[in-house]
Amino acid sequence: MKVFKNKVAVVTGAAGGIGRAMVEKFVSAGMKVVLAGINGERLDCVVSDLRKQGAEVTGIETDVSRSDQVAVLAEKTLQRYGAVHLLCNNAGVSYNSRSSWETPLKGWEWVLGVNLMGVVHGIHAFLPAMLEQKSEAHIVNTASTSGLIMNSYAVPYGVSKHAVVALSESLHLELESRNASVGVSVLCPGPVNTDIVDASHRNLPAEVTPAELTAEESLLEEAYRRYLHQGLSPEAVADQVLSAIQEGRFYVFTHDYHKAIETRMKNLLEEKNPEPSPPNPTLLNIIHSISR
């Protein structure tokens, strides 16, 4: 997709972090943007800020894990703007560091419901209209480097993000085989300076038991929170997303995780057992500084 001016974008999880940065980037490129998010009040604040700066934006409260709500998001977007040229399925949550068998099933359902089904719902609700328009369009699905390398912590998160990478790759192939004018990118960020840890606690549904973390798990969570705060700015991620859309580039990697990806791929090809990624020195330093 080359032309952005006066085109229509929809971004989910748009009230903060990477989502908000993408919205601002698309507005500067001259787009009209629909912001979707689970918290109406937070969304209203962002929308009113952006309108004060002259942006053409609309906020629609949407829980992406609910197919009916995403269908309404698509209906309202099309009613208001008549078309959708860019869809960013970005909303996501993280959830404690318990083992796969100790993570409550409701927790698994929540993470997969938002991170994976949220993307499925977006594609279902918007893609038919995007294909019918016959004008250039693009879908960006937010996965993670945790969608490329598996670890033994935050397992439901990693599983959901691997599924988003797989779904995006399939979608790209499906659309190419139909010569469709809709491109696909999958965004796989490394650490980005956002409040995802706290936002995820805030968004935890009532039926999902908050994890009772052990002292060690609490320390790890605090270290991870601080680690992210030293990460790349959401604005830098949004810059890369815009370039990838312009170039029709599928993979958007914000950090160099090539070594870890190569190790995983080599193990697969040589039928070797999975091995853990080497410890992250920055994270280790933070852990030491907290526990001192």
- Residues labelled catalytic: 157
Please state whether beta strands 182-188 and 137-142 pair in parallel, antiparallel, or not at all (unpaired): parallel
Q: Is residue 195 near ligand NAD by the rule CB under 6 A? A: yes
SS3 142: strand
Selected from 154, 192, 208, 252, the binder of ligand NAD by CB under 6 A is: 192
CA distance linking residue 53 with residue 35, whole number of Å: 16
Is the CB of residue 64 less than 8 Å from the CB of residue 118? Answer: yes
Nearer to ligand NAD, 8 or 140 (CB): 140
Q: Is residue 15 near ligand NAD by the rule CB under 6 A? A: yes
Q: Is residue 107 near ligand NAD by the rule CB under 6 A? A: no
User: Phi and psi at residue 37, in whole multiples of 5°?
Assistant: -165, 165
CA distance linking residue 87 with residue 11, whole number of Å: 6
Nearer to ligand NAD, 85 or 161 (CB): 161
Half-sphere exposure of 77 (CA within 13 A, CB side): 33
Q: What is the DSSP string of 30-64?
A: T-EEEEEES-HHHHHHHHHHHHHTT--EEEEE--T
The token pair at 210 is 């908050």
Stretch that binds ligand NAD, among 62-70, 126-134, 257-265, 274-282 (CB under 6 A): 62-70
Selected from 8, 10, 34, 199, the binder of ligand NAD by CB under 6 A is: 199
Query: Which run of H or of E encompasses 33?
Result: strand 32-37
Selected from 1, 4, 35, 37, the binder of ligand NAD by CB under 6 A is: 37
* Of 79, 104, 94, 14, the residue nearest 50 (C-alpha): 14
The token pair at 48 is 């009113």
Alpha helices (runs of H) in 149-191, residue ranges in sequence order: 155-177
Stretch that binds ligand NAD, among 31-39, 46-54, 172-180, 282-290 (CB under 6 A): 31-39
Q: Is residue 65 near ligand NAD by the rule CB under 6 A? A: yes
| Minimum distance of ligand NAD from residue 196's CB (angstroms) | 3
* Of 17, 185, 192, 211, the residue nearest 111 (C-alpha): 211
Is the CB of residue 200 less than 8 Å from the CB of residue 156? Answer: no
Stretch that binds ligand NAD, among 45-53, 185-193, 211-219, 274-282 (CB under 6 A): 185-193
Selected from 231, 241, 245, 264, the binder of ligand NAD by CB under 6 A is: 231
Is the CB of residue 190 less than 8 Å from the CB of residue 231? Answer: yes
**What x-and-dash track marks residues 74-103 binding ligand NAD by CB under 6 A?**
----------------xxxx----------
Residues numbered 112 to 151 that lie near ligand NAD (CB under 6 A) are 114, 142, 144
| Minimum distance of ligand NAD from residue 269's CB (angstroms) | 26
Query: Which run of H or of E encompasses 139?
Result: strand 137-142
Nearer to ligand NAD, 183 or 231 (CB): 231
Nearer to ligand NAD, 136 or 222 (CB): 222
**Which stretches of the chain bind ligand NAD, using CB under 6 A?**
12-13, 15-19, 37-39, 62-65, 90-93, 114, 142, 144, 189, 191-192, 194-196, 199, 203, 228, 231
